[in-house]
A and B are shown apart, each in its own frame.
Chain A
Amino acid sequence: MSRSTLLYYDRIGLLCASERTSAGYRVYTQNEFNRLERICIFRNAGLSLENVRELLSSGAAPSVKILENRLQDLEEQILFLRGQQHAIIAMLKKMTNGSFKPIVDKKMWVKMMEAAGMDESSMAKWHAEFERRAPKAHKEFLMSLGIPKDEARKIQEWSKENR
């Protein structure tokens, strides 16, 4: 925590020291310290200062709403980042004539599942189960295996029919 951050919080009224020494130094009480601790927890979760202010002053219900919104934002950002990751992988594949591979690709994944005793029908069932429970996570997972968008969409559609 830098001095300038504390001064800034003071200036915007988020965290004000209630006392000063005779030399003008800010003195923080235990209460203010606890408030700062909460501020840091919220900031570490990527919440805006505006949100932090609301979280500190409002009850449980509005707080839940704010946190849910932040969670939704994060999910959107993760999908957006996955898209970028995907685009980069596609570029790398092209530049290296197809020799670039994600850490675990579809082939490796299927091999491991087979080795653990899954056959084609249990894998189809697994996709259907994944799609039914968490379609977003299913999509994210398929993309992480380097499966192209169109193919991922096809797998998802076919998983829905397989229920």
Chain B
Amino acid sequence: MQDHVNKENWVAMFREVGLSDEAMKKWHHLFETRHPEGHEGFLKWLGIPSDEINKIRANSR
């Protein structure tokens, strides 16, 4: 059991419930286009460094 979830944990949980890479890509795209601030906040919450966040967001547009 852990207190925080990081990117790897989050991806693992999504895979566990059966989301494909394609679905996760789509999800990022939706998140970025519908709620850009929310997307940024969420990625920060996962402890992802800011330069990687910028990359993920740019790739999600």
Listed in ascending order, the chain A residues whose CB lies under 8 Å from chain B are 75, 103-104, 108, 112-113, 115-118, 122-123, 125-126, 129-130, 132-137, 141, 144
Q: Does the CB pair B5–A113 fall under 8 Å?
A: no
Residues of B within 8 A of A117 (CB): 19-20, 23, 26
28 contacts between A and B (CB under 8 A): A104-B38, A104-B42, A112-B27, A112-B30, A112-B34, A115-B30, A116-B19, A117-B20, A117-B23, A122-B17, A122-B19, A125-B16, A125-B17, A126-B14, A129-B13, A129-B16, A129-B17, A130-B5, A133-B2, A133-B13, A134-B3, A134-B4, A134-B9, A136-B3, A137-B3, A137-B5, A144-B41, A144-B45
On whether the beta carbons of A116 and B38 are closer than 8 Å, the reply is no
Kindly state the separation between the CA atoms of A137 and B7 in the bound complex, as whole angstroms.
Answer: 13
Q: Is the interface of A mostly helix, strand, loop or mixed?
A: helix
Contact A133 B9 (CB under 8 A): yes
A36 CB to nearest chain B CB (Å) = 26
Q: Which residue of A lies closest to B20 (CB)?
A: A117
> Which B residue's beta carbon lies closest to that of A103?
B38
Quick one: which of B1-56 are within 8 Å of A by CB?
1-5, 9, 13-14, 16-20, 23-24, 26-27, 30-31, 34-35, 37-38, 41-42, 45
